[in-house]
Amino acid sequence: MESLELKNTLSEIGAIVHSINTIAVSLSLMPNEGVSVPESLNISWKPSNIELSKKRARTLAYKSIYVYVAESLFEYLNSISKNPLWRHKNINFQGQEKKADRVYSFLTSIPDIDVNIAILVELLCHWRNRIIHNSSSADLSHQKKSNLLMVKNDIYALYHHFDTECALNNFKNNIVTLKDVSTLSTMVIKCCRIVDEYFFLGIAKLSNTEIFDLIKGYPEFTKIIKCQKTLKRERQVRRWLEIHFPYLGPDRIDNIATLANH
């Protein structure tokens, strides 16, 4: 069971990672000499050093992941916290703080998210800021860095030999690697899945009447239920619920549709 917000986020991040992996494979297969541009591309490309060009292209591709994954995360947290069925109003993505700080605050408010994983996701967000803004000094606090180094062996064992100390040094020295960005992206996905589980825990505590009361304020939905009672309206009500809240499941949708059609 996944919210529409999570489905969209996973689809976006999945497509991003696949594309970057495609670029990485393509560049690895490109020879270091004798490469010519296909006429169909109609571009000018005359590298003096193909190996250097490949390295720079990989770096640009990896930097792109940081930006796109961070933006997908921001959109997910913002959307899920605005969902009318999100029953944890004290946990939201609103506020005047920097987005990386809001991400950390949000994630550490979810019971099953490990604080050190939340710190690493915050690190990805800071990396995104430094990539977009050359003058950015975005960084983790000294305490958070110390916390990560204290558990580096655990993280190394749990996340496919991810070296936290090496990642922090890469961040400090503006070095981007596929290992860092792919692992941090995996942590973003893990956190989003746990947030979604928390979302559904809240929904489970709601009655069908409470859910109906929470969603009937949607202008589109209100317009439908204000129409004359007909079989067509009943179908429209059910169809609207299936499109916008499919994760409620057939039984709940049937019950809420019944409430709406009375």
Average model confidence (pLDDT) across the chain:
92
Q: What is the pLDDT of residue 216?
A: 86
Q: What is the pLDDT of residues 94-115, one digit of tens each?
A: 888 899 999 999 999 999 999 9
Q: What is the pLDDT of residues 58-98, one digit of tens each?
A: 999 999 999 999 999 999 999 999 999 999 989 999 888 89
Q: What is the pLDDT of residues 24-61, one digit of tens each?
A: 899 989 888 888 888 888 888 888 889 999 999 999 99
Q: What is the pLDDT of residues 122-157, one digit of tens each?
A: 999 999 999 999 888 889 999 999 999 999 999 999
Query: What is 135-203 written as a DSSP string?
Result: T------HHHHHHHHHTHHHHHHHTTT--HHHHHHHHHTT---HHHHHHHHHHHHHHHHHHHHHHHHHH
Q: What is the pLDDT of residues 191-232, one digit of tens each?
A: 999 999 999 999 999 999 999 999 988 888 888 888 888 888
Q: How far apart are CA 224 and CA 208, in angstroms?
A: 19
Q: What is the pLDDT of residue 48?
A: 87
- What percent of the chain clears pLDDT 90, i.e. is strictly above it? 69
The answer for residues whose C-beta is within 8 angstroms of residue 13's C-beta and 6 or more apart is 68, 69, 72, 185, 188, 189
- 262 pLDDT more than 80: no
- What percent of the chain clears pLDDT 70, i.e. is strictly above it? 100
Q: What is the pLDDT of residue 203?
A: 95
Q: How far apart are the first and last CA of the chain?
A: 29
Q: What is the pLDDT of residue 38?
A: 87
**Residue from 140, 41, 149, 151 nearest 98 by CA:** 140
